[in-house]
Structure 1
């Protein structure tokens, strides 16, 4: 478990969940029939809206960027989509960082929904969002992720704040309407916008283009089929809004930014702010195949169970990153991360695989020979009616001591490797 932050796992909505013992959508519907529960939700949302970021660890903390932050524009609010995001993506940053800071269900949005609700449909939508968010936060707790998350408010995504934050970090061009429209026309003209109707008056839009690798698709609700340029503009605008706000948050906290997938826009952000890249900047981008597909829950369990091996692995990784940054002439964290993987980590993991395979093969061969000898001894003893010989034969068959001690010694040497944690992670799949 990560250490160092008393704020880990503290979210304003957890207090409501615990007070009203809300575990499911049915629980939420039942509790919201009570006027007191609805009033308490409004009170906590108003208080949470005024909360300032505090007690965020200054090292080994990463900001959840586009594709990771559940509350970002364009992210699906349905629990099934949010659960997949949590289970598949958060482990990809916890192999290096101790904490992820994100906003989660927004107190600001809840406050706005409650205060502006006037129709029955408004209250129904608030209750639906609440049900999905209760499921999400309970899942984060159940898999142990809450111990690694510091919930902290981010700037809202309104036009005014978006422009202010973009100006602050020198990326005003990324929120320019004309540029967004031009990009939308470009990807539409090249045939990279895809629209599928997935329900009444509901369309799922996505972009497949190298410039926007990792950009999540989104649902569009309207009566008629949207034009591809409109759909592309909506997706690009949402993604860039999230990227700018998250980049500004990361800059304010002096922490690296992690996003699902990578795009050239992050390289542009780096170029617009040419400060010397940090070890953590590279750590946020490094991708390790042994961890791909390992669920966040499994990664957390592995970290907890193999804590010393994890710390040794991370120490070696930081050392390799620092050495590569020093020697490399590249100013791209993505390129440096790939260099670290190819030149440092990959060969070390392959060496462990080779040693373990060789050790296992030798041990199986010697064990087979020992069992054969033991079986013969047991058969002779049985024929000769010598019980003590049966005992010796069985012991010999079950415990080829020299071979066993040699295999154990080999494993101990392997376990001392800096990359043993990754080998364990691969076996956890």
Structure 2
């Protein structure tokens, strides 16, 4: 623990000046592994990663996350009494479990840890004097009457649900039209003393304000796009503009979203040429639809891409494969077992080995087998071949 404190004290408290690699995006609060507007428990973070990151890694190669902050750890250890040290040890063990999981699924090759900040809203003198004080920054960005009305409406109108998480935390979910998704906050307290609604609203307002402003500032600092997990209307008051990134992150790809992240990362690496073809085709399709429907909402353009490009391309692959299989079966004297077993994309690759042993050579003509290989060429060259393989893998395990 002493060594961990030493390391934490050496960590920077502001974003680096590193130039991020191409195809990099910043994870917004809720999915940036920091616990801000989310939970630091491993199970919660794993669920967020498995839900959000497959879609992100379909379009991007790297994700910038903040993770568990060193200064947050130092603040907590300074406030922790000796009798409560076990709780801190538990929190650290959750972080260790997260890092081991990230390594195990291969996500470590796609993650970049760096700090977030929202100090760019301040002049140089104010940065020195006020640091990242959320109250000061908000008062300089927004009219105080507006902020007071927002908090008043949250107190009056928000739907607040809660549950107690042993040994010492209350979790709250706040639903309101101000938020694109329900906001979540944790407040320390015993089971017998539920925090007041007033305290919950105050904390969710400050956490959302700080978290979202730091998202936008940090995205601008690194000059990379932002993958938002949640938005609040008083922070991003402007209507969302449809751009390539917004459309890509709204694109419904159920097969990819249904695949475990580790399997998707491995398939990306094993089928790299097909993945790159798929991603490039996706970018071109999105850009084409943006030119046609630039004023539409991102989700509408995303569904147009799915309807006019992805679905027809996948259907074409299925049609080609059905035709090829029927032709192969019709032109050979193979047994029913051979026709139903090896005439699939999944097992046809083993035919050279089978042929070498003389097993398949007596059952069917080599000419017809190689013709089957030739027919598969256009399928594998299809822009959507990678997505088709993902869908095939999902169906196999269902």
- TM-score bucket (shorter structure): 0.7 to 0.9
Task: Name which of 96, 103, 106 aligns with 1:141.
Answer: 103
2:385 and 2:193 mapped to 1: Cα distance? 55
Question: Is the Cα–Cα contact under 8 Å of residues 63 and 257 in structure 1 kept in the other structure?
Answer: yes
> Where does residue 205 of structure 1 map in the other structure?
172
1:199-278 → structure 2 map (5 Å cutoff): 199=166, 203-207=170-174, 212-215=179-182, 217-222=184-189, 223-226=192-195, 231=200, 234-235=203-204, 237-260=206-229, 265=233, 268=236, 271=239, 278=243
1:327-338 → structure 2 map (5 Å cutoff): 327-330=292-295, 332-338=297-303
Alpha carbons of 1:331 and 1:251: their partners in 2 closer, same or farther (altered >3 Å)? farther
Structure 1 unpaired stretches of 5+: 1-31, 33-37, 375-392
Alpha carbons of 1:239 and 1:359: their partners in 2 closer, same or farther (altered >3 Å)? farther
TM-score (norm. length: structure 2): 0.77
* Residue 183 in structure 1 maps to residue 154 in structure 2: yes
Q: Deviations over 1:117-168 (max 9, x none)?
A: 4621453333222211122112212221111111110127999543566689
Matched residue SS, 2:172:
strand
> Where does residue 88 of structure 1 map in the other structure?
51
Question: Is the Cα–Cα contact under 8 Å of residues 69 and 102 in structure 1 kept in the other structure?
Answer: yes
How far is 1:217 from its partner? 4.4
Q: Deviations over 1:199-231 (max 9, x none)?
A: 577544334667645436455543334566765
1:270-309 → structure 2 map (5 Å cutoff): 271=239, 278-309=243-274
Indicate the RMSD between aligned Cα atoms, in angstroms.
Answer: 3.7
Question: Is the Cα–Cα contact under 8 Å of residues 258 and 285 in structure 1 kept in the other structure?
Answer: no
Alpha carbons of 1:245 and 1:410: their partners in 2 closer, same or farther (altered >3 Å)? same
Q: Deviations over 1:261-293 (max 9, x none)?
A: x66749945538x7xx64334333333122112
1:97 and 1:354 mapped to 2: Cα distance? 30
> Where does residue 349 of structure 1 map in the other structure?
314
Larger radius of gyration: 1
1:327 and 1:174 mapped to 2: Cα distance? 41
> Where does residue 79 of structure 1 map in the other structure?
42
Alpha carbons of 1:336 and 1:230: their partners in 2 closer, same or farther (altered >3 Å)? farther
1:337 and 1:166 mapped to 2: Cα distance? 34
1:111-126 → structure 2 map (5 Å cutoff): 111-114=74-77, 116-117=78-79, 119-121=81-83, 123-126=85-88
Aligned residue pairs: how many? 363
Question: Is the Cα–Cα contact under 8 Å of residues 225 and 245 in structure 2 kept in the other structure?
Answer: yes
Alpha carbons of 1:418 and 1:45: their partners in 2 closer, same or farther (altered >3 Å)? same
Alpha carbons of 1:118 and 1:224: their partners in 2 closer, same or farther (altered >3 Å)? closer
How far is 1:364 from its partner? 4.5
